[in-house]
């Protein structure tokens, strides 16, 4: 409301409350679905069969989850992310929803900013990928809404180092670029995939069909701790000593592509689309959550 000298401008820009860790980024505009849509499926880890209802919300609402039959909701936000081993779970005193990452990846890619998602305790796994959620979004249609919705663009590199060659970093870029590498013992070996999320079509064609995967040697351990109860031969890639047991791979590097899918879903837990150059190796949901925590700070 008044002219500032150059010194005063510098003081404002370096104030502790200034957004010094984020560059100016573009306004994406707000979006929701044009109508409600219902899907049915089974939770991968809980084994619980559930409907899944996606309902449009007004502008400035954000994305929220609710359990079927309950009036309580929980925002899709990093502050509510709890369990991150083998899947991402949102929870508070009233609502708990697991395995949200595949649906969140689709919403991120289509730029959906306002939506209510209802299900039982876990988002249905469908075929282990994100393609069913993309098809549901396309079937329902997208409505543009009034109001700003700015992407987040980090102004400096953030690096999370795990054990050995496990790490994830993000640095400034104008789109979301992801370079992911994994390396497991034989028969998997090394896989790498580089992806730029510059349109919904890019996600639908290159990432959304990539399915979650698991190793035969880990199944008994997972079931002993109450996970993988809903695992079926048609909803994930099962890998044995000699290779994939139950299906044909959709891509030669489908496992790496699925890790990119998971990242796109997890990173949407700041309630805004993220842009930046991401480099990751052998990471999972816990590393993604730690990176988001640093961005949150």
Q: Which residues are identified as catalytic?
A: 285
List, as one string, the DSSP characters of 206-272.
HTTTPPPEEEHHHHHHHHHTT--TT--TTSSEEEETTEE-SS--SSTTHHHHHHHHHHHHHGGGGSS
Distance (Å, whole) CA 207 – CA 78 = 23
Give Cα 163 to chain centroid, integer Å: 23
Distance (Å, whole) CA 254 – CA 236 = 11
Distance (Å, whole) CA 133 – CA 130 = 6
DSSP character for 46? T
DSSP 3-state of 186: coil
């Amino acid at each position: 409301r008044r002219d500032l000298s150059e010194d005063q401008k510098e003081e404002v820009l370096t104030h502790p409350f200034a957004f010094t860790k984020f560059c100016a980024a573009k306004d994406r505009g707000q979006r929701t679905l044009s109508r409600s849509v219902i899907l049915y499926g089974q939770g991968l880890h809980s084994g619980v069969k559930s409907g899944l209802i996606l309902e449009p919300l007004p502008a400035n609402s954000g994305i929220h989850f609710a359990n079927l039959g309950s009036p309580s909701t929980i925002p899709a936000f990093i502050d509510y992310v709890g369990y991150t081993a083998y899947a991402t779970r949102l929870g508070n005193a009233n609502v708990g929803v697991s395995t949200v990452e595949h649906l969140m990846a689709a919403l991120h890619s289509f730029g959906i900013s306002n939506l209510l998602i209802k299900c039982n305790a876990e988002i249905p796994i469908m075929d282990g990928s994100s393609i069913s959620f993309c098809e549901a979004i396309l079937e329902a249609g997208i409505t543009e809404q009034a109001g700003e919705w700015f992407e987040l663009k980090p102004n400096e590199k953030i690096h999370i180092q795990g054990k050995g060659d496990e790490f994830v970093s993000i640095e400034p870029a104008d789109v979301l670029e992801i370079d992911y590498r994994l390396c497991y013992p034989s028969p998997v070996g090394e896989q790498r995939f580089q992806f730029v999320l510059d349109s919904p079509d890019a996600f639908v064609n290159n990432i959304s069909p990539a399915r979650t995967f698991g190793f035969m040697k880990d199944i008994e351990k997972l079931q002993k701790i109450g996970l993988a109860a809903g695992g079926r031969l048609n909803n994930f890639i099962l890998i044995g000593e000699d290779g994939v047991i139950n299906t044909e791979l959709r891509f030669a590097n489908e496992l790496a592509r699925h890790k990119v899918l998971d990242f796109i879903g997890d990173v949407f837990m700041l309630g805004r689309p993220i842009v930046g150059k991401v480099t990751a190796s052998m990471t999972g949901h816990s590393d993604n959550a730690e990176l988001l925590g640093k961005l949150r700070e």
